[in-house]
Amino acid sequence: MRKIKITETALRDAHQSLIATRMRLDEMTPIIEQLDNIGYHSLEAWGGATFDACIRFLNEDPWERLRVIKSLAKKTPLQMLLRGQNLLGYKHYADDVVEYFVQKAVANGMDIIRIFDALNDPRNVETAIKACKKEGGHAQATVCYTTSPVHTLELFVKDAQRLESMGADSLCIKDMAGLLIPYAAYDLIKAIRENVKIPLALHTHYTSGVGSMTYLKAIEAGIDIIDCAISPMSMGTSQPPTEAFVATLKDTQYDTGLDLNKLSDIAEYFRPLREKYIASGLLDTKILGVDVNALKYQVPGGMLSNLISQLKQANASDKYDEVLNEVPRVRKDFGYSPLVTPTSQIIGTQAVMNVITGERYKMVPKESKAVIKGEYGQTPAPIPADILKKILGDEAQITCRPADLIAPELESTREKMKEYLQQEEDVLTYALLPQVAEAFFKMRRDGFPAPAPTPAAAEPAKKAEGSTNGAVTAAISAAVAVISEEDGMQYEIKSIRPAGISPWVLSGRLKM
């Protein structure tokens, strides 16, 4: 008998995927002890976009959130998602910041750290893996799944073996876009299982409609752990439902041993929350359906939502099909980079710009250039020579580990924000998201305002009558609005954003 373990994502990826990471701590605390008594492998409760959302939207200290959750979940390991050298921000940070962040994450209650890199460049996760093990945490290294001419079984097995050799305690296959179809999952897990000895976890999203079937074939192939979400927070761009797998595997050799009655009680807690999110507009029921475009264009469901929002904002919805067709072309030009934060946002934005301006790479954001240059690491395939010439000109690509070029920055960060320092962790919050953190610290000092009402959906911007340039400007501005230029994704054309368009009004449901 091989018991399958389940990681519950309701406290992190489920609400990140469905409601743009807006679940508040006071909505979580009443159910955490019941979650803790289920017998899950782990509770994913931190990391990803939660850190950013806490201080940007919810007026919550993410470190306090971690401490509170840990105080209530005394039996079940807590798990987080970490973007390797990007940590929980959108650029590479110096090794001293990465090491200190991991140290503080473990000290505040984190048990399992799932560490990934958007390009599957193992050099970008090495520091975080070593730091996690040094602090006594469980380092779960990650291979991001995608499909392309270069992403073969042999490549994925090689990546997995490399991560195991770096000291990973377990390995996750991260299917952030729901691209992993059932029989491909069987072949992939079987190949990795035959070559890697550490436990294997699989993460997927239900976006394309095949998630549960993919998990079942992965279980047959030898997977140890699957990521699921309690049913009211499952499906669509979230994970497959927890209860369905407990029922499916019951009385088989894979029986999870979890109690369906207890899970039903937990579902009852989340059901009215789900209805509240739908009524508020945070949960758009459209994203709960199956989107086959995820398979056709290899675009994560959350990225599709962002593209739609960008084009609506620019009154360019008629360009949607063109943009979808452009995304795979840009991805090929960018070395077949997997579409996961931050590369998904960079590639999506570049695709919108290419279509709106009417000329490919007429406008190239700073972050697109950074990917081409190698500032994010080595792309899975070489960048085509014509793209290198067009975007870099005579500049040389970076071939070393990108973080080797970043000087230590922990102490200089501490000096910059010392007036706001109330706890050591504040230095790290500022290091990751400086301007958003500063605004948060000021509100913390002066008193937080009353919780704002749930925001309504953003209205499309009005097209400037008689002005083609106005429409193009609005479109490009909408494109760059996916990521705040304040926190690392600093687009050079940011100054042309029309007044009144918030940099995060289109933040959407980012897949991380």
Q: How many residues does the chain have?
A: 512
Residue 470 confidence (pLDDT): 43
CATH code for 5-280? 3.20.20.70
**Digit-coded pLDDT (tens) for 330-370:** 999 999 999 888 888 899 989 999 998 999 999 999 999 99
Candidate ranges 70-84, 296-310, 497-511; pick with highest mean pLDDT: 70-84
Whether the predicted pLDDT of 263 surpasses 80: yes
Q: What is the mean pLDDT of residues 238-257?
A: 97
**Digit-coded pLDDT (tens) for 133-142:** 999 999 999 9
Report the candidate in 236, 168, 228 with the shortest Cα–Cα distance to residue 203.
228
Helix residue ranges, H only, 175-223: 182-193, 211-221
Residue 284 confidence (pLDDT): 85
Query: Which of 462 and 152 is assigned the larger pLDDT?
Result: 152
d(CA 270, CA 233): 7
Residue 452 confidence (pLDDT): 54
**Digit-coded pLDDT (tens) for 164-223:** 999 999 999 999 989 999 999 999 999 999 999 999 999 999 999 999 999 999 999 999
High-pLDDT (> 70) share of the chain, %: 87
Candidate ranges 143-147, 286-290, 314-318, 482-486; pick with highest mean pLDDT: 143-147
Angle, alpha carbons 382-386-391 (nearest 5°): 90
d(CA 197, CA 169): 10
Give the lowest-confidence range in 53-62, 70-79, 351-360, 466-475. Answer: 466-475
d(CA 505, CA 477): 11
Long-range contacts of 405-409 (CB under 8 A, 24+ apart): 406/92, 406/93, 406/94, 406/95, 407/94, 408/94, 408/95, 408/96, 409/93, 409/94, 409/96, 409/97
Residue 103: which pLDDT band, with cuts at 50, 70 and 90? very high
In 3-state terms, what secondary structure has residue 173? strand
Instruction: Please provide the average confidence, as pLDDT, over all residues in the chain.
Output: 87
Asked if residues 132 and 113 have their Cβ atoms less than 8 Å apart, the reply is yes
d(CA 200, CA 21): 26
Residue 42 sits at φ, ψ, to 5 deg, of -165, 165
Residue 305 confidence (pLDDT): 63
Residue 366 confidence (pLDDT): 93
Calculate the dihedral angle through the C-alpha atoms of 90, 94, 95, 101, rounding to the nearest 10 degrees.
Answer: -50
Q: What is the mean pLDDT of residues 250-258?
A: 97
Residue 416 confidence (pLDDT): 97
Cis check for the bond before 342: say yes or no (omega within 30 of 0).
Answer: yes
Q: What is the mean pLDDT of residues 102-121?
A: 97
Asked if residues 186 and 217 have their Cβ atoms less than 8 Å apart, the reply is yes
DSSP string, 40-105: -SEEEEEETTHHHHIIIII---HHHHHHHHHHH-SSSPEEEEE-GGGTTSSS---HHHHHHHHHHH
Asked if residues 11 and 44 have their Cβ atoms less than 8 Å apart, the reply is yes
Asked if residues 242 and 227 have their Cβ atoms less than 8 Å apart, the reply is no
Ranges of each domain in the chain: 5-280
Q: What is the mean pLDDT of residues 460-482?
A: 40
> 33: Cβ–Cβ under 8 A, 6 or more apart, which residues?
72, 73
Residue 291 confidence (pLDDT): 82
DSSP 485: G
In 3-state terms, what secondary structure has residue 408? coil
Whether the predicted pLDDT of 29 surpasses 80: yes
Integer-rounded Cα radius of gyration of the chain: 22
Q: Which residue has the tokens 């949960």?
A: 283
